[in-house]
A = this chain, B = another copy of it.
Amino acid sequence: MSARAGIIVTGTEVLSGQIADQNGPWVAARLLELGVDVAHTTICGDRPRDLTAQLAFLADQRVDLIVTTGGLGPTADDLTVETVAAFCGLPLRADDVLAQQIEAIIRSWRRYAEVDELPDALAAAIAKQALVPDGALPIAPTGTAPGIAIAAAADRPAILILPGPPRELQAMWPAALATPAVAGVLARADDVEHRQLRAFGLSEPDLATTLRRAEQELPGFGALEVTTCMRGGELDISTRFPHADEQTYLDLKALLRQQYSTEIFSPDGTTLDDLLAAALAGATIATAESCTGGMVAARLTDRAGSSSYVLGGIVSYANSVKTDVLGVPAALIDEHGAVSEPVAAAMADGARAVTGADIAISTSGIAGPGGAVPGKPVGTVCFGLAVAGRATTTITRWLPGDRALVRTLATTVALHLVYRALVPA
């Protein structure tokens, strides 16, 4: 038993690179969690011929399910339903109940609440969005566009048509899974588990060497599908396996955790941000940032509820802010340079002093492209960590990449330093 899917992302603005697609990755991740293998994702402009070609390609690849995203709007270049219906050889029918649902949604908007007759353009838009391929099942709109589920036939897979706005698509997902067309595919899906580890300070080649050893040593290793992904300085280790092979996964996990006891900070896929939020419980934190320019504070406050532990921070980009606001002695900067461990320490101490936080983390570095000095190449970043009741510590890292990457990696390093101060490996 197994099921394979293909995903078609529609939209000229996606194909042309103007906007980044969020739907393909989201749908793929959800299908994989459900044990459905994703064989292909294709991206299509708003051209019926190209969409038809992609539908035919995926049908030819014998996928069991095609999921399309986008192209359900009211305008002339929203062509998905019409094109899919033609591909399936199904005539379109006007669904009156659906038309009433869509009209009710539009009338709930303030500007149309009191209008007796909707404008012609709007009435036409409703009529267009209420067209359904004959025999297909509409899925109630979560914006104004309904989804559509079409059962498999002899010569083609089941097709699930979803709207393009990510929030509408995600809101519709549970109802889409419940349609007979999709449920029939899920019934054939593999009983698959998906687990994740996260490591910091571990390289892909190092891990690859260990995995080759595990392949020799662990019976049944072949049942595990391990993929690794380096992003923002962290290595994500994802493993998919049939439920029956759980013990093999646990053996691999034990082996990796033994080998990389300091590097693996998340044994269950929990993100650093979540771990840090939990570790900070009851304590307060502040930042003093130079090269990261506010990114550490922004990432800390990205989480809802962060106001219970983030007091704030100082972006001391100019040396005058380091001295005047954080109280870093000018002589210290003169002697060691702004990018130095003594200055990073004084920045962290200063951030604690001015905000009253229990913990403060500082960054001072050379993000580039300019600014390198002898002994301090681009990518040199000094960190300071001040924790109430402990001596302030510092560390220097040489980070690779361009300005944006150095800043991103420095932000991640800063958060890991705080986390490891609270939860030692």
A contacts, CB < 8 Å to B: 12-20, 24-29, 32, 38-45, 50, 53-54, 57, 61, 74-75, 121, 167, 204-205, 208-209, 227-229, 231, 236, 238, 284, 286-287, 289, 292-298, 300-302, 304-307, 310-318, 320-321, 324-325, 354-356, 368-370, 401-405, 407
Contacts and interface: CB of A to CB of B under 8 A. Distances in A.
A306 to B, nearest CB: 8
21 contacts: A13-B228, A16-B28, A16-B32, A17-B32, A19-B231, A24-B43, A40-B42, A40-B54, A167-B401, A293-B298, A294-B295, A294-B296, A301-B315, A304-B403, A305-B370, A312-B316, A312-B317, A312-B321, A314-B325, A324-B356, A325-B355
Contact of A28 (B15, B238, B301): B15
Contacts of A286: 321
Contacts of A236: 18
Contacts of A41: 15, 42-43
Contacts of A402: 167
A44 B20 CA distance: 17
Contact of A311 (B228, B231, B321): B321
Nearest to A318: B311
Contact of A75 (B208, B284, B354): B208
Nearest to A303: B403
A144 B29 CA distance: 30
- Interface residues of A: mostly helix, strand, loop or mixed? mixed
Q: How many copies does the complex hold?
A: 2
A39 B48 CA distance: 12
Interface centre among A13, A32, A293 (most CB of B within 10 A): A293
B305 A294 contact: no
A293 B304 contact: no
Given A312-B317, A370-B304, A16 B29 contact: yes
A318 B312 contact: yes
A409 to B, nearest CB: 13
Contacts of A355: 318, 320-321, 324-325
Contacts of A325: 312, 314, 325, 354-355
Contact of A301 (B27, B231, B312, B317): B317
A401 B301 CA distance: 17
Given A13-B229, A16-B227, A289-B294, A313 B311 contact: no
